[in-house]
Amino acid sequence: MRELTGAASFQWGTAPRVLIVRLSALGDTLMSTPVAHALRDAFPNAFLGWLVHRRCAPVVEGNPYLNCLHIWDGTLSGAVATVRSLRQTGYDIALDVQGLLKSALFPWLARIPQRVGFADAREGAARFYTHRLPSPPPAPFVAGRNLQLLKALGVPVDPRRHRMLFPLTETHRKTARRRLAALHLLPKRFVVLAPATTRPQKHWVEERWSELAERLWRDMELPTVLLGSRSDRPLLERIARRCRITVPIVNDLPLKEAVALIELASALVGPDSFPIHAALAVGTPAVALFGPNDPVRFREERGIRVLEHDLPCRPCRRRPTCGGAFTCMHLITTDEVLAAVAHLLADIRQTVRG
């Protein structure tokens, strides 16, 4: 295997057949979509494919920069069929932007000649690459690490142009508008609250979600919607029950339609999870509540306000040291969130006037 510092010894060709490998998760898959845009800009005649897990497929289904989508169902038999499909498609290059053993194995088993990823890939994934790239420093854009992989291979990248893309059709938007009408809400006159996340250390205080919904209505005359998945229902119901106003729950929409609902909102508030990335992708202002993770990738993103409190133990990421206190999230107050929403909306009004 060769350690690369740039494009030397790597061959793109004029019309490469490139497989982008990002199986999961939802937010990470969305943050990888600028790779397809940058590749299409650099190689208009390229054949671009994407390998994704079935759960995350809606994130890239309909992406205009892709020629092909390979959807793995998560099973062993499905993996065998997927490898067969990859071989038949005849890729020249595989870009593993996930960096896990499973994401590295697919291109290796498919015998794709050039397999590229970062040298610091987890679970020993780098052993299956033909080309390993030095890990880049953290970048202040959500797609920074992924785009830096391309840059190291000589592909021109522009974080302002190569943005996250979540493909939506008019059918998805019509479904979202119908749901909004059923809730007696108007487009761009409500705030989405998306409180759920997969790790407890990223959760905000439940009672404060209820207080925030009440304050948004009382102070800004903005109604709210609690948005989540079917498995989030218990959390959403607890928050809604604490409210002294009616706050509707929406947790039964397919992913595409849920993102279309986010697109219709004035703003979205949530922890470091997929809805924040979705809001950025569709142009909805977002307030992101950060605790265990470092929000460096949002530093230069527009349309987002990050709320965080510095503590010596941050960032702990997946290994909290606070014994379940999660102080970093508890320090974020309702007043801070309310002020952030107000500032975001004021910025938008100023931009429109300007």
- The domain boundary residue, chosen from 152, 187, 211: 152
Give the pLDDT of residue 6.
41
Give the pLDDT of residue 7.
47
Residues 19 and 121 in one domain: yes
Contacts with 333 (C-beta within 8 Å, 6 or more apart), sequence order: 208
Residues 228 and 119 in one domain: no
- How many domains would you assign to the chain? 2
Cβ proximity of 177 and 29 under 8 Å: no
**By three-state DSSP, how is residue 335 classified?**
helix
Q: What is the dihedral of CA 316, 321, 326, 332, to 10 degrees?
A: -50
Residues 131 and 233 in one domain: no
Total-model pTM: 0.94
Could you give phi then psi for residue 301, rounded to 5 degrees?
-80, 145
Residues 147 and 181 in one domain: no
Give the pLDDT of residue 350.
63
Contacts with 325 (C-beta within 8 Å, 6 or more apart), sequence order: none
Residues 189 and 139 in one domain: no
CA–CA separation, 180 and 250 (whole Å): 10
* CA dihedral for 184, 188, 189, 190, sign (positive or negative): positive
Give the pLDDT of residue 22.
98
Residues 18 and 107 in one domain: yes
Closest CA to 282 of 297, 301, 263: 263
Provide the domain limits for residue 296: 172-353
- Residue 147, domain CATH: 3.40.50.2000
Residues 198 and 345 in one domain: yes
**Is residue 34 packed enough to be buried (19+ CB in 10 Å), middle (13-18) or exposed (0-12)?**
buried
State how beta strands 304-307 and 224-227 pair. Answer: unpaired
Spell out, as residue ranges, where the chain has pLDDT lower than 50.
1-3, 5-7
Assess if residue 162 is contained within a domain.
no
Q: How would you list the strands of the sheet with 2-3, edge to edge?
A: 2-3, 131-133, 114-118, 93-96, 17-21, 47-53, 68-72
User: What does each C-alpha distance from 303 to 13, 30, 55 come to in angstroms?
Assistant: 38, 17, 27
CA–CA separation, 70 and 83 (whole Å): 9
Could you give phi then psi for residue 24, rounded to 5 degrees?
-165, 180
CA–CA separation, 149 and 70 (whole Å): 22
Give the pLDDT of residue 5.
43
